Amino acid sequence: MKRSIAIEPYRVAHRGPVPGTVPITGSETIPPALPANEALLGRLTNPMQTTAVSLERGRDRYGIYCQVCHGPEGLGNGPVAPALANTVRNLTEPRMRARSDGWMYAVIANGFGALMPEYRSKLSRDDRWHIVNYVRVLQGVAR
Ligand code: HEC
């Protein structure tokens, strides 16, 4: 009790649930965004239409959860980027524009690489898709 182990969620990327964990909100499993899963993730359909409501929600959530690293325009230049040795991805580069919605959804849910944490525990499924829609706007990708 006196010396408990404090878990700092943002310092532990990819910490999966303990084996045997029972989901409390359904049993969603999303494979991590890895080249091997690219085709599979590409088949995920974004259930959220790009409406004004979706974009507003996406903008709001992006501002809270992504902007610190990826910057307001998605250029990878948020205030935290220097602390991550400027490895934060520029979401507007052609390679990122070409990624599927499902891929980006998996990146948000599971995190990416060693430095981007998971957001599945912080963003609902709907919110992840709203963010995908909003990032498409930052990318200038027509829908
Ligand atoms: C703590 C900083 C941080 C936050 C917050 C963050 N990211 Fe990232 N993100 C990164 C870094 C660093 C990379 C590059 C990781 C690598 O290449 O190893 C990255 C990569 C990505 C990629 C590219 C993956 C690929 O295909 O190469 C996408 C898409 C992305 N982030 C979207 C988001 C979205 C959307 C959010 C908000 C939900 C978000 N990120 C929040 C740091 C962050």
Residue 57 Cβ inside 6 Å of ligand 1? The answer reads no
pLDDT per position as a tens digit, 71-104: 999 999 999 999 999 999 999 999 999 999 999 9
Q: What angle do CA 37, 94, 96 make, to 5 degrees?
A: 35
User: Which domain range does residue 142 map to?
Assistant: 67-143
Mutation to probe ligand 1, out of 8, 62, 70 (largest number of atoms < 8 A from CB): 70
* Element (DSSP H or E) covering residue 38: helix 38-42
12 lies in a domain? no
- Give the pLDDT score at 35: 95
Euclidean distance between CA atoms 101 and 41, whole angstroms: 8
Q: Which CATH number covers residue 83?
A: 1.10.760
Tally Cβ neighbours within 10 Å of residue 37.
Answer: 15
- Give the pLDDT score at 15: 67
Euclidean distance between CA atoms 47 and 97, whole angstroms: 19
Mutation to probe ligand 1, out of 65, 110, 112 (largest number of atoms < 8 A from CB): 112
- Give the pLDDT score at 3: 80
Report which protein residue has its CA nearest ligand 1's atom 42: 116
Please state, rounded to an integer, the average pLDDT across all residues of the chain.
91
Report which protein residue has its CA nearest ligand 1's atom 39: 66
Number of domains in the chain: 1
Give exposure, 41-59, as e/b (b: 16+ Cβ within 10 Å): beebebebebeeebbebbb
